[in-house]
Amino acid sequence: MTDRCNFACLFCMPEKDKISWIPQEEILEFEEIERITRVLASLGIEKVRVTGGEPLLRRDIEGLVGKVTKIKGIHSVDMTTNGWFLESKARALREAGLRGVTVSLHSLRRDRFSAISGADALPRVLRGIEKALEVGLSPVKVNSVAIRGYNDDEILDLVGYARDRRISIRFIEFMPLDGLGIWNTGRVMSGKEILGAVSEKYPIDAKGRGSGETSSLWKFEDGKGDLGLITPMSDPFCDDCDRVRLTADGKLLSCLFDTEYHDLGHIIRNGGSDEKLAKFILDAVWKKPEGVGYMPWIKDGWEKPRNMNAIGG
Ligand code: SAM
């Protein structure tokens, strides 16, 4: 959607003076995104998640949501956001047909939230979550990246926050896609550790991982919300992953860790037909790398091609 973000989360973006944004003229227009989505839908894609960067930075994003929800074959459109503009945008998004929203929330302490995200935004983000619930976006979920030494002592507080609102909380293992280069294995809190901490306090039942889903689910026995663990580092789910990503500048990625960028923007901006686009997409998907779990370069100090904000997390 965009690689721009008004936050600078330390597990995602580089230092402010080292950011190089994708040039504006390379960013796909809404009509281009709509066209590519239509071709993807013709190939069997049913679910769309709008992310970035910060998707709510794009003017009239609700207009795009409205168009994408109407594409034949698309069953749901959801969004991942940092929540900054959610209070003001939630109703328009809902009216445009957005199904649910996932809000990133890595701390419930105002000073720590600022330190992690680079923005003194906690009260505003929390108001955004309340608004999303009020207008009926569903599901409303909270995403937290658990990083040892940063927020690992807040797992139970974050779970408590989500349970009080009967919403889902997802913990994502820290992946080596950060712009600051602070990732190391010692900083990764594994899903297993998180599960251990949560299950010591709350009785929970394993619900497994749905086909093609990224998170393994646990239901709290008292029915108050659920816990999801996204474990690309400790327990990758590559064999079952059927997602593709479209970057803001029109590159298709068949994996977050893909090093080959399949340029759809080039095709549509040079008169390529929908048939040509569809064939190119299929070829790209066949080239999907074997999987992060088997990729030795992850362990060997890998030079990632892009930071998370430019991939679309
Ligand atoms: N700006 C929006 C947001 O903050 O949610 C959407 C984009 S953000 C890249 C999407 C998700 O990726 C967020 O939940 C974020 O926490 C997660 N993320 C970013 N960098 C990550 C990393 N290095 N490892 C794991 N998750 C990461």
% of residues, the chain, pLDDT over 90: 77
Is the pLDDT at 293 greater than 80, yes or no?
Answer: no
Cβ–ligand 1 contact at 51 (below 6 Å): yes
Q: What are the helix (H) ranges across the chain?
A: 30-42, 61-69, 86-96, 110-117, 122-135, 155-164, 191-201, 264-268, 274-286, 296-299, 308-311
> pLDDT (tens digit, 9 = 90+) per residue, 161-197?
999 999 999 999 999 888 888 888 899 999 999 999 9
Q: Give me the mean pLDDT over the 221-230 stretch.
A: 96
**pTM metric for this prediction:** 0.95
Angstrom distances, CA of residue 45 to CA of 66, 268, 282, 302: 17, 19, 12, 30
- Is the CB of 12 inside a 6 Å radius of any atom of ligand 1? yes
Lowest-pLDDT range, 48-52, 136-140, 252-256? 252-256
* pLDDT tens, position by position, 70-85: 999 999 999 999 999 9
Q: Find the 272 Cα to ligand 1 centroid distance in Å.
A: 32
Cβ of residue 86 lying under 6 Å from some atom of ligand 1? no
pLDDT of residue 178: 86
State the distance from the centre of ligand 1 to the C-alpha of 17, rounded, in angstroms.
20
What pLDDT is stored for residue 16 in this prediction?
80
The alpha carbon of 78 and the centre of ligand 1 are apart by a number of angstroms equal to 15
pLDDT in tens, 20-49: 899 999 999 999 999 999 999 999 999 999
- The percentage of the chain sitting over the pLDDT mark of 70, rounded to a whole number, equals 95
Give Cβ neighbours of residue 7 (< 8 Å, ≥ 6 apart): 13, 54, 82, 84, 117, 118, 119, 121
C-alpha 313 – ligand 1 centre gap (Å): 5
pLDDT of residue 236: 87
Q: Is any ligand 1 atom within 6 A of the Cβ of residue 189?
A: no
Average pLDDT taken over every residue of the chain: 93
Residue 272 CA to residue 163 CA, distance in Å, equals 49
Mutating to test ligand 1, I would choose from 9, 113, 230, 257 the residue with most ligand atoms within 8 A of its C-beta, which is: 9
CA–CA gap between residue 166 and residue 169 (Å, rounded):
10
Kindly state the DSSP code that residue 104 receives in the 8-state scheme: E
Q: Is the pLDDT of residue 263 over 90?
A: yes
Distance of CA 230 from the midpoint of ligand 1 (Å): 12
Which protein residue's CA is at the shortest distance from atom 9 of ligand 1? Answer: 313
**Residue linked to tokens 């390379």:** 26
Instruction: Work out the pLDDT band at 299, boundaries 50, 70, 90.
Output: low
First to last CA, the chain: 11
pLDDT of residue 1: 82
Residue 8 has pLDDT above 70, yes or no: yes
Cα(101)–Cα(127) distance, rounded to whole angstroms?
14
